[in-house]
Structure 1
Amino acid sequence: MEILISSSVWDPKPWVEGLSASRDITKIHVWPTTEDISKVEVLFVWKPLAEGIINKLPKLKWISSLGAGVDHLTSDPQIPSHIPITRIVDPFLARDMTNYVIMGLMMHQRSMLTHLHNQRATIWDRITYQPLKVGIMGLGALGSHLAERLVLLGFEVFGYSRTLKDIDGVKCFDATQNEEFLNHAEVLVNLLPVTPQTESILNANLFRKMPEQSYLINVARGNHLVEKDLVEALNSGRLSGALLDVFKEEPLPTDNPLWQHEKVTITPHVASVTTPESAIKLLLINFELLNNNQKLLHQIDLEQGY
């Protein structure tokens, strides 16, 4: 079986080396290529595909995202609806995402940026800290893992998802209880998938439903956030700050006002990065399932978008 790897962001070399060990894979192509790819049956991709690439793959049977997100695939009109699409569900992704959010949450609760400023200014100011109620939007593999760990750390945790979930120690809400959920979110962590229903969900209307001086952590997708509304909420004092790891345009343009905003902390989409060694194990399991005409693991529902 021939496969094609297309990634506009990551170095494909670790993926090629890891997948080459499989006897089921006879040839690995890396896009862009001038080779004949008409026999390719499997496509692994991260970030947008080149226009017209699907037309070059008449034997395509399966597409997999090389990360947890699939919005770059579900929003691509050139991908046929009959081809199964899968995503990476990796325990290391969940662990790393949880660690990142805990870091941001603790830095906010303990006023670490202020302490760092005070250190440079030789100011001794013992800033007190308060218990925080944490709201998690999106209780999939990443959100559920985060919620469970925050409960163990002693935080009061609230969860929001399209359908009601049951997680020990977490007060869960469904899509009909959006406002009630937001009323508790002194810190709001966004881990929703991108769908037509969730795009631009982090907007002025949502911010008004949160407690005064709440804090935002966005680690899902930049398309969730209306940046103009965030800046206005920060300037007005509605929100006390934000930790942003994802943006509509990446790399974030140097003239974007978020770079210079004193209440915003930016990281360059590094909250949780797929580990090829771990993800390849899942891909190889799906290879075997494909060969046996069985349903693939972590196959997405195109109607739901995730």
Structure 2
Amino acid sequence: MDILLSTSVWDPKAWVEGLSQSELVGKIYVWPTEEDLSNVQALFVWKPLAEGVIEKLPNLKWISSLGAGVDHLMTDPQIPRNIPITRIVDPNLTTDMTNYVMMSVIMHQRNFRLLQQNQQKSHWERITYNKLRVGVMGLGELGGHLAKQLYAAGFEVSGYSRTQKQIEGVKCYDENQLDTFLSELDVLVNLLPITPKTVGILNYELLSKTPKGCYLINVARGNHLVDNDLIKLLDENHLSGAILDVFHQEPLPNDHPFWAHKKITVTPHVASVTSPESALKLLKENIDRLVNETPLLHQVDLNRGY
């Protein structure tokens, strides 16, 4: 099977070397290329996919995102609707995301920002802290694992998803109970998939339904958040702060107000980063499945968008 790799973000070397070890893989091309791609059956891509790639692949049978996110494929008009799309589901990605959010929750709980300020002033102050109520929006692979680990760490945890879920120790709400879910939080974590229904969901109206002093953690996608609405709620002291790892435009422009806002912590999309070593195991398994005409693992539901 011939494969085309298309990623302008990552060095393709590790991916090419790993895929070459499979006996089922023939030639591996890296975009951009002027070579004949008519025999390519699989496209592995991380955003953005360059214009004109798909039309050079007349025998394409499968597209895989090289990360957990697939929104860059769902919203790309050049992606055919009749070709299966898969995403990376990797235990390392899940663990990394959970660790990042746990770190963020605990740093907020223990008031690390104030502790750092006190250190700069050589000021000794033992700051007390309270048990927090943490709500996770999105209870899929990443959110479900996070909710379980937060509960195990002693937090009071609730979760929101489109359909009702059951997770031990976690109070779960469905799409008809969103207001109730929001009303009982000290920290709101967004791990929703990005779909037409969830674009801009973190807006003034929704975030205003959280209790005064709630803290926001957005690690899903930048276009879930209405930036100006967040700033307004922070300046009005309704929200106490936010840690943001994803943005509408990445890298975040130098003049964006998030950089200088005293209540916002910015990290450069590092909460969970795909590792070729672990992701290649799944890609090779799906290569075997495609060759043997068995169902691909972690295929995206095109109607739901994730």
The interval holding the TM-score normalised by the smaller chain is over 0.9
- Separation in 2, partners of 1:149, 1:208: 27
What secondary structure does 2:268 align onto? coil
- Separation in 1, partners of 2:164, 2:182: 15
- Separation in 2, partners of 1:192, 1:8: 25
Amino acid at match of 1:138: G
- Separation in 2, partners of 1:94, 1:163: 21
Q: Residue 110 of structure 1 aligns with which residue?
A: 110
Q: Residue 9 of structure 1 aligns with which residue?
A: 9
- Separation in 2, partners of 1:215, 1:8: 34
Q: Residue 183 of structure 2 aligns with which residue?
A: 183
- Separation in 1, partners of 2:4, 2:99: 33
Query: How much has 1:128 moved relative to structure 2?
Result: 1.4
Query: How much has 1:126 moved relative to structure 2?
Result: 2.1
- Separation in 1, partners of 2:60, 2:256: 40
Q: Residue 144 of structure 2 aligns with which residue?
A: 144
**Identity within the alignment, %:** 64
Amino acid at match of 2:68: A
- Separation in 2, partners of 1:197, 1:177: 16
**Gaps (5+ residues) in structure 1?**
none
Query: How much has 1:20 moved relative to structure 2?
Result: 0.5
Q: Residue 287 of structure 2 aligns with which residue?
A: 287
Q: Residue 18 of structure 1 aligns with which residue?
A: 18
Q: Residue 169 of structure 1 aligns with which residue?
A: 169
What secondary structure does 1:18 align onto? helix
- Separation in 2, partners of 1:51, 1:65: 16
Q: Residue 159 of structure 2 aligns with which residue?
A: 159
Q: TM-score, normalized by length of structure 1?
A: 0.99
Amino acid at match of 2:179: E
1:138-168 CA distance string (max 9 Å, x none): 0000001101111110000000001011000
Q: Residue 43 of structure 2 aligns with which residue?
A: 43
- Separation in 1, partners of 2:287, 2:95: 25
Query: How much has 1:186 moved relative to structure 2?
Result: 1.1
Query: How much has 1:70 moved relative to structure 2?
Result: 0.1
Q: TM-score, normalized by length of structure 2?
A: 0.99
1:171-211 CA distance string (max 9 Å, x none): 00001101000011210000000000101000101111101
- Separation in 1, partners of 2:166, 2:6: 38
- Separation in 1, partners of 2:49, 2:215: 35
Query: How much has 1:125 moved relative to structure 2?
Result: 2.2
Q: Residue 205 of structure 1 aligns with which residue?
A: 205
Moved over 2 A (4+): none
- Aligned positions, number: 306
Query: How much has 1:33 moved relative to structure 2?
Result: 1.1
- Separation in 2, partners of 1:248, 1:147: 26
What secondary structure does 1:78 align onto? coil
- Separation in 1, partners of 2:253, 2:288: 43
**Gaps (5+ residues) in structure 2?**
none
Q: Residue 86 of structure 2 aligns with which residue?
A: 86
Query: How much has 1:34 moved relative to structure 2?
Result: 1.6
- Separation in 2, partners of 1:237, 1:123: 26
CA RMSD of aligned residues (A): 0.6
- Separation in 2, partners of 1:100, 1:138: 16
Amino acid at match of 1:279: A
Q: Residue 120 of structure 1 aligns with which residue?
A: 120
Query: How much has 1:295 moved relative to structure 2?
Result: 1.3
- Separation in 2, partners of 1:70, 1:188: 23
- Separation in 2, partners of 1:52, 1:198: 29
What secondary structure does 2:217 align onto? strand
